[in-house]
Structure 1
Amino acid sequence: MSTLSFVLAIAFGVLNLGSGVGAMVRLKVILPLMDGANVPQSMLVFPIGGLKAAGGIGLLVGAAGFPLVGTAAAAGLVLFWTCAVHTHVLANFWPKETVLTFIFLASSIALLALGPVV
């Protein structure tokens, strides 16, 4: 286990979990972003919030010593954030918050590239 993968797994596990919980409680700051990207607000709890939270929990479980769970979570988050970028491309919607989407995608790719998240 590298220190970098451990730190990234903890940091982005917490951030993905927080982002998922924020979506599930329907934070007011998220609602205009969903509307701009043409995503129904009914999708905030599941699949959006649930998948982000599950990915975050999976990264934290991987950091706690279960590398296969962490690796699977990183792979799932790569798919999730790739779909988020695709949604923005389809909607041609690029608010300043979109940079966070790319940061989350890059971190998920980095975690997957570093190997088993332990």
Structure 2
Amino acid sequence: MYVTAAILSVVLALVSLAAGVPKLLLKGDVPVKLQEHMGLSAGLVRLIGVAEVAAAGGLVVGLFWQPLGIAAAVGFALMMAGAVAFHARAGDYADPAARGNALAPVVLTVLSVAAAVTLGLAM
């Protein structure tokens, strides 16, 4: 079970880091789209970036201390559930052009829950 937890944690950490750094630095298209399309402030986008980078760190350290990994995975799942709610409120699931990007948080929520469960079972 630990191997599954490790794979899920590493994949989620890489995705979380790759998504969080541009938001933290307010660089690239994603932070601009979050501000324009979703109506988020620059400060909130940075806060989301900080949370995603922290989740990546927690998932990696959680490979050696499972309680932290479980907490990071649960926190990341809650953050992705919030992203799903924001996409739903913006109507992205009804828009074929935006649906692909909006489905990523759904998949990441499921993977985060799976990581938390497998880390818990690996203890």
Task: Summarize the alignment of residues 5-84 of structure 1 with structure 2, pairs less than 5 Å apart.
Answer: 5-30=5-30, 31-46=32-47, 48-63=48-63, 65-84=64-83
When the two structures are superposed, what TM-score results if normalisation uses the length of structure 1? 0.86
1:35-92 Cα deviation digits (max 9, x unpaired): 212222331211x0011111111000011x1101000001111111111111111222
Alpha-carbon distance in 2 for matches of 1:76, 1:58: 10
Count of residue pairs the alignment pairs up = 116
Unaligned runs of 5+ in 1: none
**Identity percentage over the alignment?**
22
Residues 8 and 107 in structure 1, CA contact (< 8 A), matched pair in contact too: yes
Moved segments of 4+, more than 4 Å: none
When the two structures are superposed, what TM-score results if normalisation uses the length of structure 2? 0.83
DSSP 3-state at the match of 2:28? coil
Larger-gyration structure (1/2): 2
Unaligned runs of 5+ in 2: none
Residues 13 and 55 in structure 2, CA contact (< 8 A), matched pair in contact too: yes
